[in-house]
Amino acid sequence: MRATVLHAPRDIRLDDVDDPQLQLGTDAIVRVVAACVCGSDLWPYRGLNPVNEPTRIGHEFVGVVEQVGDAVSSLTPGDFVISPFTFSDNTCALCVRGVHTSCTNGGFWGHPDKQGHATDGGQGELVRVPWADGTLVATPSQPSQEMVTQLLTLSDVFPTGHHAAVSAGVTAGSTVVVVGDGAVGLSAVLASKRLGAARVVAMSRHESRQQIARRFGADEVVAERGKEGAAAVREMLDGIGADFVLECVGTGDSMKQAMLSARPGGRIGYVGVPHDVQLNVPQMFGRNIGLAGGIAPVRGYIEELLPDVLDGSITPGDVFDLTVPLDQVADGYRAMDERTAIKTMLSL
Amino acid sequence: MRATVLHAPRDIRLDDVDDPQLQLGTDAIVRVVAACVCGSDLWPYRGLNPVNEPTRIGHEFVGVVEQVGDAVSSLTPGDFVISPFTFSDNTCALCVRGVHTSCTNGGFWGHPDKQGHATDGGQGELVRVPWADGTLVATPSQPSQEMVTQLLTLSDVFPTGHHAAVSAGVTAGSTVVVVGDGAVGLSAVLASKRLGAARVVAMSRHESRQQIARRFGADEVVAERGKEGAAAVREMLDGIGADFVLECVGTGDSMKQAMLSARPGGRIGYVGVPHDVQLNVPQMFGRNIGLAGGIAPVRGYIEELLPDVLDGSITPGDVFDLTVPLDQVADGYRAMDERTAIKTMLSL
């Protein structure tokens, strides 16, 4: 089969690799229908995370079950499935508490499972899925092509934005500021409105991203960044700042902007993978600013979010502004790297 | 009048000072009935916070209203009142959101108010109270001497323990670990049980403190500290750690112990004033550990907690294991400094 391999920074290729085989009775093999590129894929792509050897990549995909192991009970070949960006058994003490990203038996696409068998990256034709019953969520019927685009966001980007909002504790009637206008930040705008936020401020300098933010329900847009941006936010929100701030970037600067945008007693939900983020604890303490979030336990959210996607009441797939066939994956990465695309979908 | 003055590290005296006078119509003068020494008073007492000049000290007191300004409407001379450890108007945009410690017009005892008038420390005979209607909470009737001891805890220590639990988000049926067996930590045990926690683990090496923790509802006690203590906690709690951890010390070591005691997806409520606390953000992110808390907005909690104290269903005053008259204030500080007393009450 063909699968995406990162050979070195900015050297990404579609290579011929071995087809995956069932290794355990709890496995399934999924034929990928659509995948996408994540902002976090850009860290190794840009060489900001080290790339020491050719590495399979990608962790967001939907597809059709091709084969199941004999211990798989809830899936049958032909089912259309959504895969979260981590695999998990959905039964361990941490999964039942909703922290599937810390599953005792879980792991990450492209890395070996706990039994030591390699797993596939999500940007390829086939993926061996460990703990298939626990990992995959099947849709009630076969989706249309347009619906595939929407469902693909449930693999990572939309539930990650949702996790920022849930971690912060966004409530109906509250004020929310979203730092970051990437696909996750835009998803966080949509998630906040879905949870009933009264007033959502998107911080964005880019016209095309501002438009999607507005379509997702942003009530206001602030183009300034840093201290100036936070000052504009505070002035807009009773002079005190927001009840909740969703940090969807992961840099030291974006976290500082988030801290300055929160009102005393406010909460920050953060889902930007932290790179060199230092927290000023005495300042947080004095202003009672809380911080929660982390790697999004997507598996636990899919069933909650799926009905709203299926009935069309939300269209999180609007974050995709570029679709390329799998064999043009390099173009897809380049466009995101150069920020000419917000998020790239790979069709198969 | 006589009031406590910190002249230099470990040099604390009861000095003669001027009686306070009403400065503004919103002021009241309160005759202090009982005050106490806070763990945070020990930081300057020990010279860990600088003491550059003789400084009035103390911020926890209850008393009787002696005089009110002409703009005070809810209090009359003779009322028994509880004072929170900060003053606040209880009407500004931050007070109405429950963050009285960030009140636009608020401040700290012993420091000038926003109009520039000096305020008194709480460990003295009389205190001028700014924003008396907003700051003070009157009891429905005159309390007994024993009840005074209980009510005094509402000035700081019990609502601060409560704030740790509320900030973490302690829910009925949850597991809770309390780091710190000072008066605040013990109060956090009581607050957690009051909020319905199913299993509370107190981390304490001291027999007398363990006994109070048990009396306040601790289900288990762990004597080990640091990594060993956290490992013991995890083993006790399904091998994963606690849903909620309440950090009631404020050192780097205690915060690390708290982090290691929380399960993935867990929340830390912290109320120990942070001294040299560094947070490992990537680790928090990977394990989805949330952190919230800060200086406790006590004023917003008093009315909620008062009925349970008045009807005797909780007895937070059990944290006081030493009572001295005000003129022996130096002995009261020394006992807490040497940890021969958990918490010292000063009677007037």
CATH code of the domain containing B225: 3.40.50.720
- Reading the block at residue A251, the tokens are 């840099």
Q: Give the closest-approach CA distance of A78 to chain B in angstroms.
A: 34
pLDDT score of A150: 98
Hey, what long-range contacts does B320-327 have (CB within 8 A, 24 or more apart)? B320/B36, B320/B149, B320/B152, B320/B153, B320/B344, B320/B345, B321/B208, B323/B149, B323/B347, B326/B2, B326/B4, B326/B14, B326/B35, B326/B123, B326/B124, B326/B125, B327/B2, B327/B14
CATH code for position A152: 3.90.180.10
Query: Rounded to 5 degrees, what angle do the CA atoms B183, B185, B191 make?
Result: 100
Both tokens assigned to B268: 């830390």
Q: Write out pLDDT tens, residues B203-236.
A: 999 999 999 999 999 999 999 999 999 999 999 9
Q: Measure A104 CA to nearest chain B CA, in Å.
A: 10
> Which residue in the block uniquely carries the two structure tokens 């619906």?
A147
Distance between CA B54 and CA B76 in Å, rounded? 33
Question: How far apart are the C-alpha atoms of B306 and A126, rounded to whole Å?
Answer: 63
Residue of B nearest to A279 (CA): B279
Instruction: Select the residue of A93, A264, A273 nearest B238 (Cβ to Cβ).
Output: A93
Domain that includes residue A121, residue range: 2-156+297-347
**CB contact burial A9-35 (16+ within 10 A = b; e otherwise):** eeebebeebeebebbbebbbbbebbbb
Tell whether A245 and A167 lie within a shared domain: yes
Strand, coil or helix: what is A344? Answer: strand
Give the per-residue pLDDT at A96. 97
Cβ contacts (< 8 Å) between B238 and chain A: which residues? 93
**Strand ranges in chain B using DSSP code E only, listed in sequence order:** 2-8, 11-16, 28-36, 55-56, 61-68, 80-83, 86-87, 107-108, 126-129, 137-138, 175-179, 199-203, 220-222, 242-247, 262-270, 290-293, 322-325, 344-347
One domain, residues B152 and B165: no
CA distance B22 to B24: 6
Q: B191 and B242 share a domain? A: yes
Beta strand A242-247 with A175-179 is: parallel
The confidence score (pLDDT) of residue A194 equals 98
- Do B175 and B150 fall into the same domain? no
Contacts of B5 (CB under 8 A, 6+ apart): B12, B13, B14, B15, B17, B54, B55, B56, B57, B121
From the list A263, A284, A288, which residue is nearest B297 (CB)? A288
Closest CB from A265, A284, A287 relative to B97 = A265
* Statement to judge: residues B113 and B217 lie in one domain: no
Using the beta-carbon criterion (under 8 Å), do A263 and B94 form an inter-chain contact? yes
The tens-digit pLDDT sequence of chain A (348 residues) is 999 999 999 999 999 999 999 999 999 999 999 999 999 999 999 998 888 999 999 999 999 999 999 999 999 999 999 999 999 999 999 999 999 999 999 999 999 999 999 999 999 999 999 999 999 999 999 999 999 999 999 999 999 999 999 999 999 999 999 999 999 999 999 999 999 999 999 999 999 999 999 999 999 999 999 999 999 999 999 999 999 999 999 999 999 999 999 999 999 999 999 999 999 999 999 999 999 999 999 999 999 999 999 999 999 999 999 999 999 999 999 999 999 999 999 999
Evaluate whether B263 touches B241 at the Cβ level (below 8 Å): yes
Using an 8 Å CB-CB cutoff, list chain B residues near A270.
285
For a pLDDT cut of 70, what percent of chain B falls above it?
Answer: 100
What confidence category does residue B49 fall into, taking pLDDT thresholds of 50, 70 and 90?
Answer: confident
Report the residue of B91, B108, B291 to disrupt the A interface, i.e. the one with the largest count of A CBs within 10 Å: B291
Task: Let me know whether B230 and B313 are in one domain.
Answer: no
Q: What is the ipTM of this complex?
A: 0.97
CA A117 to chain B, closest CA, distance in angstroms equals: 23
- Whether A152 contacts A34, CB under 8 Å: yes
Is there a contact between A292 and B292 if contact means CB atoms under 8 Å apart? yes
DSSP three-state, residue B78 = coil
Please report the sign of the dihedral spanned by the C-alpha atoms of residue B313, residue B316, residue B321, residue B327: negative
Selected residue of B96, B254, B284 to mutate for chain A interface (largest A Cβ count, 10 A): B284
Q: Does B294 sit within 8 Å of A288, measured CB to CB? A: yes
User: Under an 8 A CB cutoff, do B99 and A288 touch?
Assistant: yes
Pair (B282, B314) in one structural domain = no
User: Chain A residue closest to B296 (CA)?
Assistant: A288
Query: Among B332, B254, B314, which Cα is nearest to B39's?
Result: B332
- B224 contacts: CB under 8 Å, gap ≥ 6: B203, B231, B232
Query: Beta B290-293 vs B262-270: how paired, if at all?
Result: parallel
Q: Can you name the residues that pair with B175 across neighbouring β-strands?
A: B199
Express each pLDDT in B59-95 by its tens digit. Answer: 999 999 999 999 999 999 999 999 999 999 999 999 9
Which residues in chain B have their CB less than 8 angstroms from residue A282's CB? 274
User: Chain B interface residues facing chain A, Cβ-Cβ under 8 Å?
Assistant: 93-94, 97-99, 101-102, 167, 238-240, 243, 263-265, 267, 270, 273-274, 277-279, 281-282, 284-295, 297
- Alpha-carbon distance of B123 to B152, in angstroms, equals 12
What number of helices (H) and strands (E) belong to chain B? 11, 18
Q: How far is CA B26 from CA B104, B131, B329, in A?
A: 15, 5, 31
- C-alpha angle A53/A55/A61, rounded to 5°? 175
Chain A residues touching residue B284 (CB < 8 angstroms): 291, 294
A58 vs A3: CA distance, rounded Å: 9
User: End-to-end alpha-carbon separation of chain B, Å?
Assistant: 12
CA distance A150 to chain B (A): 27
Average pLDDT over residues B33-42: 95
User: Mean pLDDT for chain B?
Assistant: 97
- A38: burial class by Cβ within 10 Å (0-12, 13-18, 19+)? buried
Closest CA to A57 of A101, A3, A100, A15: A3
Q: Taking CB atoms and an 8 Å cutoff, what residues of chain B touch A263? A: 94, 97, 99
pLDDT, mean of residues B265-270? 98
Contacts with A102 from chain B: Cβ below 8 Å: 264-265, 287-288
Q: How far is B311 from chain A (nearest CA, A)?
A: 31
Strands (E), chain A: 2-8, 11-16, 28-36, 55-56, 61-68, 80-83, 86-87, 107-108, 126-129, 137-138, 175-179, 199-203, 220-222, 242-247, 262-270, 290-293, 322-325, 344-347
A-chain residues near B236 (CB < 8 A): none
Q: How many residues in chain A?
A: 348
Conformational region of residue B58, where left means phi above 0, alpha means psi within -120 to 50, and beta covers everything else: left
A99/B263 touch (CB, cutoff 8 Å), yes or no: yes
- Are the beta carbons of A291 and B294 separated by less than 8 Å? no
Residues A138 and A168 in one domain: no
Inter-chain residue contact B288 with A99, CB threshold 8 Å: yes
**Contact residues for B121 (Cβ-Cβ < 8 A; gap 6+):** B3, B4, B5, B55, B56, B57, B58, B59, B109, B110, B127
- Kindly report, residue by residue over B145-170, the tens digit of the pLDDT: 999 999 999 999 999 999 999 999 99
At A272 the pLDDT is 93
Question: Domain count of chain A?
Answer: 2
Coil vs helix vs strand at B166: helix
> In terms of CA atoms, which chain A residue is nearest residue B164?
A288
**Chain A nearest-CA residue for B293:** A288
Q: Which two tokens stand for residue B333?
A: 């500080």
Instruction: Check whether residue A282 and residue A179 sit in a common domain.
Output: yes
* Shortest Cα–Cα distance, B123 to chain A (Å): 23
Instruction: Tell me, yes or no, whether A130 and A186 share the same domain.
Output: no
Q: Please give the pLDDT value at position A153.
A: 98
Contact assessment for residue A237 and residue A207, using Cβ atoms and an 8 Å cutoff: no
Of the candidates A241, A257, A273, A157, the residue with the CA atom closest to the CA atom of residue A204: A257
Nearest to B299 by CA among B29, B103, B124: B103
Residues of A in CB contact (< 8 Å) with B are: 93-94, 97-99, 101-102, 167, 238-240, 243, 263-265, 267, 270, 273-274, 277-279, 281-282, 284-295, 297
Closest CA to A111 of A168, A58, A182, A32: A58
In chain B, what residues touch A278 (CB-CB under 8 Å)?
Answer: 281
CB contact under 8 A, B265 and A98: yes
CA-to-CA separations, A302 to A144, A253, A306, B129, B251, in angstroms, rounded:
19, 31, 6, 54, 39
Residue by residue, what is the 3-state secondary structure of B186-230?
A: HHHHHHHHHCCCCEEEEECCCHHHHHHHHHCCCCEEECCCHHHHH
Comparing CA positions, the residue from A129, A109, A116, A126 lying closest to residue A16 is A126
Q: Which of A137, A129, A24 is nearest to A74 (CA)?
A: A137
Of A93, A240, A284, nearest to B93 by CB-CB distance is A240
- Residue B117 sits at the vertex; the CA angle it makes with B112 and B119, to the nearest 5 degrees, is 55
Nearest CA in chain B to A270: B285
Would you say how long chain B is, in residues?
A: 348
Positions of E strands within A234-331: 242-247, 262-270, 290-293, 322-325
Closest residue in B to A163 (Cα–Cα): B288
Do A100 and A244 belong to one domain?
no
Residues A91 and A81 in one domain: yes
Q: What is the rounded distance in angstroms from the CA atom of residue A141 to the CA atom of residue A151?
A: 12
* Chain A positions in Cβ-Cβ contact with residue B288 (cut-off 8 Å): 99, 101-102, 167, 292-295, 297
Q: How many CB pairs under 8 A join A and B?
A: 109
